[in-house]
Structure 1
Amino acid sequence: MKKSIGYALLSSMLLGSLAPSAASGADAKTEPLISSYETEYGHSSLVKSDGTYWIWGMANLPSVPTQLQGLTDVTATFGDNFLKKTDGSLWYWSKATQSTGMNLYKIEGIQDPVDVPFVYGDNAIVIDAKGDVYKGSQSYPDYIPGPYTKLAGIDNVKEVSLYGDSLAQKTIFVFLKKDGTVWRTDATYSTFVQAQEIVGAERVQADGVYLKDGTIREWPSSYNVAGYDKVKGDWASTSSIPVKGLPERLIFAWRNGTSNVAIDEQRRLWFWGATITGWSDGTTMNSQPAPIRLTGVQDVKEAYVAGRSLFALTQSGKVYEASIELRDMPANAEFKLLASDVVNMKPASKHLLMQKTDGTLWGWGLNKYGSLGIGEDKEVEIRTPVQLQTPIEVVLNGESIALTNGVITRNGQAFVPLRSIFEKLGARISWEAESKIATLEREATGQTAAVAMKINLKDGTTTLNGETVKLQNDPFGASGTSYLPLRFISETLGAKVEWQQKAGKIVITMS
């Protein structure tokens, strides 16, 4: 199931985590544990094996995986905002513009979706298991989904893609049917034209078609680099042509509409398409129409382009990176080792996610809106892979707690947002923005002693009932959220904290 235009190879994942501290008091002891969760994931969402759904890394959203409450029966995630439940229904979520909450909507009239291949503007395309295709839209300001209608004139569809035809100045939609034929239409969806020159298609992606015989065909597009004279005329009469200069049979190919990579039967890597030079208004897409074999990496399993880099994953689990920020891509382009023990990768436009053999998920690239899931939303370029935070659910007296931003673990210790849990444990919380001091107070009741705690997020100084205590890890701020140590404060307030490793949950009991 593709997560967005041009990206495929969605697979089940194992996510690792560090357990929260098992210590009481000032968290003087840690018990680092590894826990694995079988998940399906996308660029900014994932589904754990327990059916819970987690989001991060988009505008005004959490910067670490954070549970979307009320969902425990999700089986698949499509794109950034669509999900499928166990009953086969399709749902869409969006952030409420006037609050911190989320809206969740059922898409009526669609059963057993298999893909939401892309959202085009405010419109989305959905394919169901029968091969019917539906078109719908999301309206401003809260992106409430409108009615989805079945497209007439096309059926038995396996995949849908799109590309920009620079000749016709149109966006062209490409439909691959289950019988291997390929059909096209423009944004009106009024006429579907079969590409008669294509037989035995296996996949469609951007402006390319991959055939079962291991060859590739492509159409003229916005950044077409096929190296041939474009046929004049409207889009309907334009034919695809074979990509020349490649080996007879390929075992892997990927394209994003500008740059293209392929792997042949000897697991050698090929590149053609656009390289990038310049920045901002001076950015130039340099056409390199003839495929070249890149000799700097061997035994390649997968390859993608993200940002201005080309990534190659080898059979041995090593990821190598080469820059495409140059006028021409040379055959002897330098590849640098980026990571080891990687089982698969998932590219986005400007960042890359990698799964390692121990189940952990790692990110590289532009951390815009917290897309790397590390707890920061600063728009910085991260060139050394960093581990995403693990999705950890917090349960209080049997109730799953909604967090404004997910759990962050540091050195095996779990931290949660300031107001997420502790008020539910009976504490009054105040926050001094200038001094960055959080105060938690609870009066004595019955056999429960009074608690007065002050935590300085500037220097980590913490006092409990007037006495200074040393925390194992200092509290901190992340993405505008103040984070405090969960176990220390919860147990100080009289709660029992249990880390359920297998389930990936922190269970708090308060009588």
Structure 2
Amino acid sequence: MKKWLSIVSAFLVLSLSSNVSAVAAENPATTTNIASYGADYLIKTDGSFWVWGGNRSVPTQIHDLNDVQSSLNSQYVIKKDLSVWQWRTTAYAQTVQVTPVQELDNLMDTFSVVNRTVAALKGDGTILTATFSSDGLTTTDFTPISGIDNVAAIDGYYESGLHKGWTRFILLKKDGTVSTTYDDFESFETIQNLTDIIQIKNNLALKKDGSVWSWPVLDYYKNPEAPINLSATPFNGISNIQP
């Protein structure tokens, strides 16, 4: 969780949750060989990768993954040689499929959406997408998205309409502006009033001057009137926020 987002959330009296390893909580001594961890995985200092959840009640090593440096959401890891690998399994299966993803060299981040699509952001500012199979074990080939470039960061959040929901992607451009699109990546819209943005999270944006800006989230059941234009406004009383 970003430091500035935590400050804003506290200001708004929101409830935050933190991902804490159950193993580390029960026995702090076990953290001595843990390099990093998340809600359902940990990476040891020897580069081994461990997961839990579903029918895995305790951390279970994925033996086909080694020399792991970091983990991204959507079950992708980056090895110490900077190669990207995908591991997939169903909720209650023991079998894990591990495959290299060569087209994701220079990967910066990934972000999943509700319709089994994953978007990948590369260091050159381009975005590629792929779609998971219904069993979650395979994906289509990653293909580049046209109509958007020079992306510095990617995030998103869920919106709901009358009969369905979708994910809205938020794309921070390298020029400090912010664009948005839906699951299909077919068209892009600039969020108004946002310049000199340095970080994004959900529908929040942090400006270089330390101010925090927000824009509407469509929730049909709370507000049936969909916003015609996405226009950001600053939070009053919040200033000099550091990333």
Query: What TM-score do the two structures reach when normalised by structure 1?
Result: 0.39
Q: What does 1:53-64 correspond to in 2, within 5 Å?
A: 53-57=49-53, 59-60=54-55, 62-64=56-58
What one-letter code is carried by the residue in structure 2 that aligns with 1:203? Q
Measure the CA separation in 2 of the matches of 1:206 and 1:35: 31
Are 2:152 and 1:158 equivalent residues in the alignment? Answer: yes
Q: Render the CA deviation track for 1:321-372: whole Å, top value 9, x for unaligned.
A: xxxxxxxxxxxxxxxxxxxxxxxxxxxxxxxxxxxxxxxxxxxxxxxxxxxx
Measure the CA separation in 1 of the matches of 2:52 and 2:159: 33
Are 2:199 and 1:203 equivalent residues in the alignment? Answer: yes
Work out whether residues 197 and 208 of structure 2, in 8 Å CA contact, stay in contact via their aligned partners in 1: yes
Q: What does 1:347-386 correspond to in 2, within 5 Å?
A: none
Work out whether residues 97 and 142 of structure 1, in 8 Å CA contact, stay in contact via their aligned partners in 2: no
Q: CA deviation at 1:41?
A: 1.7
Q: CA deviation at 1:167?
A: 7.3
Given candidates 173, 176, 182, the residue that maps to 2:172 is 176
Are 2:239 and 1:243 equivalent residues in the alignment? Answer: no
Q: CA deviation at 1:166?
A: 5.3
Given candidates 121, 126, 133, the residue that maps to 1:132 is 126
What one-letter code is carried by the residue in structure 1 that aligns with 2:230? T
Distance 1:230 1:202, change over 3 A: farther
SS of equivalent to 1:88: coil
Q: Render the CA deviation track for 1:109-143: whole Å, top value 9, x for unaligned.
A: 11021211334331111112222211111102252
Task: Give the structure with the higher percent helix.
Answer: 2
Q: Render the CA deviation track for 1:388-441: whole Å, top value 9, x for unaligned.
A: xxxxxxxxxxxxxxxxxxxxxxxxxxxxxxxxxxxxxxxxxxxxxxxxxxxxxx
* Cross-structure match for 1:123: 117
SS of equivalent to 2:132: strand
Given candidates 60, 63, 74, the residue that maps to 1:69 is 63
* Cross-structure match for 2:98: 104
* Cross-structure match for 2:214: 218
Measure the CA separation in 1 of the matches of 2:77 and 2:30: 28
Are 2:39 and 1:43 equivalent residues in the alignment? Answer: yes
Measure the CA separation in 2 of the matches of 1:243 and 1:88: 39
Q: Render the CA deviation track for 1:130-173: whole Å, top value 9, x for unaligned.
A: 22211111102252122111111222222112234557975421
Q: CA deviation at 1:101?
A: 2.0
Measure the CA separation in 2 of the matches of 1:223 and 1:248: 28
Work out whether residues 97 and 137 of structure 2, in 8 Å CA contact, stay in contact via their aligned partners in 1: no
Computed over aligned residues only, the root mean square deviation of the Cα atoms, in angstroms, reads: 3.5
Q: What does 1:83-482 correspond to in 2, within 5 Å?
A: 83-95=77-89, 100-165=94-159, 171-222=167-218, 234=228, 237-244=229-236, 246-251=237-242
Measure the CA separation in 1 of the matches of 2:31 and 2:137: 36
Q: CA deviation at 1:85?
A: 1.8
Distance 1:34 1:42, change over 3 A: closer
Q: Render the CA deviation track for 1:172-206: whole Å, top value 9, x for unaligned.
A: 21100222111111222122222241111121111
Measure the CA separation in 2 of the matches of 1:188 and 1:95: 25
What one-letter code is carried by the residue in structure 1 that aligns with 2:70? A
Measure the CA separation in 2 of the matches of 1:167 and 1:55: 35
Query: What TM-score do the two structures reach when normalised by structure 2?
Result: 0.76
Work out whether residues 16 and 36 of structure 1, in 8 Å CA contact, stay in contact via their aligned partners in 2: no
Q: CA deviation at 1:93?
A: 1.2
Measure the CA separation in 2 of the matches of 1:205 and 1:73: 30
Distance 1:186 1:70, change over 3 A: closer
Measure the CA separation in 2 of the matches of 1:97 and 1:171: 22
Q: CA deviation at 1:43?
A: 1.3
Measure the CA separation in 2 of the matches of 1:209 and 1:47: 30
Distance 1:107 1:162, change over 3 A: same
* Cross-structure match for 1:281: none
Distance 1:175 1:99, change over 3 A: closer
What one-letter code is carried by the residue in structure 2 that aligns with 1:240? A
SS of equivalent to 1:180: coil
Q: Which runs of 5+ in 2 are unaligned?
A: 7-15
What one-letter code is carried by the residue in structure 2 that aligns with 1:86? K
Counting aligned pairs with the same residue, the percent is 25
What one-letter code is carried by the residue in structure 2 that aligns with 1:250? I
Task: Give the structure with the higher percent strand.
Answer: 1
Bigger Rg over Cα: 1
